[in-house]
A and B are shown apart, each in its own frame.
Chain A
Amino acid sequence: MSARASNPEYVNARVRSRRAVLFADEDYRKLIRMGPSEIARFMEETEYEREINALGTRFSGVDLIEYALNRNLAKHFDDLLDWSEGRLYDLIGRYLRKFDVWNVKTIIRGIYTETPTEEVSTDLIRAGELPDSTLDRLLEVDEIDDVIEILGGTVFYEPLSEAYQEFEETGALVSLENALDREFYEHLLDDLGRPQEGPDALYVEFLEAEIDFLNARNALRLARSGADLDPAAYYIEGGVLFTQAELSRLVGNYDELVDHIADSGRYGDRLGGALARLREADSLIQFEHAMDAALLEYADTLSSIYPVSVSAVLSYILAKEREVENIRAIARGREVGLTEAEIEDELVIL
């Protein structure tokens, strides 16, 4: 933990100003009616201007939108780490490590499928803690164990080396990816304990909610797919909704699982509508979107309770990610010719 004083006031002022320029609901409604090239033109008139212009000569259509979104996201999140100091840096950094996980996963997948380096490189979101130089070195290697070697000294080294043996036996990437995910989530709550009040308590509460939702999502997916996988392997510690034993038991019984989520005092009310829908329909996607929206709303409330703390920053990170995902969903949806109503179902709007 960094000992320097942190500067939440400065970071908050900048984050709030950036939050104000995120797309509003009306913008999404406009975007839904546009084709990919129109969306790109629309984005050119907003804060994505620089990215669209930089990439416009090399890509077009949906690819252009996607890469511009990734680059813009990376720029903003890099800024967050640039601005913040001390403890604030620490708290933001450990959340943004999510993108390190994403990048390492992408690189490993690229090696596994023997995708050309440039293609993998455009898919990276250079926002996490790993410096660009490390990512570039990772892009150059051809073997997965070299990747693990380069990551020596980072938090990912140990879990990856352990998972690598399993990977060699089975040849499935799942073990490596799972190791990365677990490492990320289990480090999130490191040395924070369970504070009872103040901004830290909310930070912890929010992350617990995220872990809970992730566990619930994995459990629902497993329950739905009916695949014969060990749910314990996907369980992530740190949540409050499930214990490992509960999850293993509930996966087999879909209705009970939904009941368990509904009964928990913390989320039952928040997800009420989504749970009802989940019971009657069999749309898992709807439920996942409802969870995303609930998490976003959760983060929003957090940011107004302690205005000058890390929670406003977290709330911005989430909102920005959601925007990027929404625009991507619209662009992809238009590309494959979904109707407006179908695309609207895919969006997460509060």
Chain B
Amino acid sequence: MLEVSDLLATAVALQAENGGPILEPEAAAALGVGLAALASGYAERGIGAAAVGAIAEDRDMFVPGIVMTVLPETLVIFAIVVIFLV
């Protein structure tokens, strides 16, 4: 973790020397999508656990379970829109 932040610090310093912005727009958008994916993954953790529990009790819950589990995925889709905007 420390090395990564060291690396990041050097990259930022280099960018600043060249007079450019700290992050290029594409890089910032990529970071945004990544963070969104991470967040939706965390949200899906709990929903997925509950869905598996419901399916174990009643097979008919399979489809609703999947639909509910991937709902937070919409977050990532919104984030992908950003890629087309920059």
A residues touching B (Cβ–Cβ < 8 Å)? 7, 9-14, 17-18, 83, 308
Contact = CB atoms under 8 A, between A and B. Distances in A.
A13 B53 contact: yes
Given A10-B50, A13-B53, 9 more contacts: A9-B47, A9-B49, A10-B52, A12-B53, A13-B49, A13-B52, A17-B54, A17-B58, A308-B46
B71 to A, nearest CB: 14
Contact of B54 (A7, A14, A83, A308): A14
Nearest to B51: A13
Interface of B: 46-47, 49-54, 56-58
Contacts of A308: 46
Contacts of B56: 14
Contact of B49 (A10, A17, A18): A10
A9 B57 contact: no
12 contacts: A9-B47, A9-B50, A10-B49, A10-B52, A11-B53, A13-B52, A13-B54, A14-B54, A14-B56, A17-B53, A17-B54, A308-B46
A18 B52 CA distance: 14
B54 A9 contact: no
Among the interface residues B52, B53, B56, B58, which one has the most CB atoms of the partner chain A within 10 A? B53
Contacts of B58: 17
A14 B57 CA distance: 6
Most buried by B among A7, A11, A14: A14
Nearest to B56: A14
B33 to A, nearest CB: 26
A7 B49 CA distance: 8
A72 to B, nearest CB: 16
A14 B65 CA distance: 13
Contacts of A11: 53
Contacts of A14: 53-54, 56-57
Nearest to A12: B50
A18 B56 CA distance: 11
Contacts of B57: 13-14, 17-18
A10 B52 CA distance: 7
B77 to A, nearest CB: 24
Nearest to B52: A10
A127 to B, nearest CB: 19
